[in-house]
């Protein structure tokens, strides 16, 4: 049981390049999330998916797109990377619980945009 896995672990991009961050979970969770964490700050929600086939914006969605490929996988795409998107990106998943679900986080992807 690997939990939540993320690829790649580290990536360097040039401004304007695109890339997709991959996330997968093997816990049969319905909900999945993407967060970003800037140095010295807490996590901020980018997008989430409450179930397969649905996605919703979080606190900081601009510059990102997401795809809930199936129940296991939730990808985050940067179409045209900017230096302001330099951050650590965490994926998480949770079961539904009407307010009591626990989110389980992956190890993170460290992205540097030059």
Q: Which CB atom, from 62 or from 100, has the smaller least distance to other proteins?
A: 100
Which of 14-22, 51-59, 64-72, 77-85 is the region at the interface with other proteins (rule: CB under 8 A)?
A: 51-59
CB within 8 Å of 14: residues ≥ 6 apart? 81, 113, 114
C-alpha dist (Å) from residue 107 to 9, 45, 63, 83, 97: 8, 16, 22, 22, 24
54 forms part of the interface with other proteins (CB under 8 A): no
62 forms part of the interface with other proteins (CB under 8 A): no
State both tokens at 13. Answer: 């991009």
Least distance between other proteins and beta carbon 25 (Å): 12
Least distance between other proteins and beta carbon 62 (Å): 16
Assign 3-state DSSP to the chain and report helix, strand, coil percentages, each to 5: 5, 50, 45
Contact 91, 105 (CB under 8 A): yes
**Interface pick for other proteins out of 45, 60, 61, 72 (rule CB under 8 A):** 45
Neighbours of 51 (CB within 10 A): 13
Least distance between other proteins and beta carbon 16 (Å): 27
**Interface ranges with other proteins (CB under 8 A):** 4, 31, 33, 35, 40-45, 48, 50, 56, 58-59, 88, 90, 92, 94, 99-108
């Amino acid at each position: 049981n690997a939990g939540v896995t993320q690829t790649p672990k580290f990536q360097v991009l040039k401004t304007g390049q695109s890339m997709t961050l991959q996330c997968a979970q093997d816990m049969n969770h319905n909900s999945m999330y993407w967060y970003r964490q800037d140095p010295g700050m807490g996590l901020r929600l980018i997008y989430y998916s409450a179930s397969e086939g649905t996605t919703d914006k979080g606190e900081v969605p601009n510059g990102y797109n997401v795809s809930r490929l199936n129940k296991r996988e939730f990808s985050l795409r940067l179409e045209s990377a900017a230096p302001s998107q330099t951050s650590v990106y965490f994926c998480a998943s949770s079961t539904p619980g009407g307010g009591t679900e626990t989110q389980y986080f992956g190890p993170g992807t460290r992205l540097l945009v030059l």
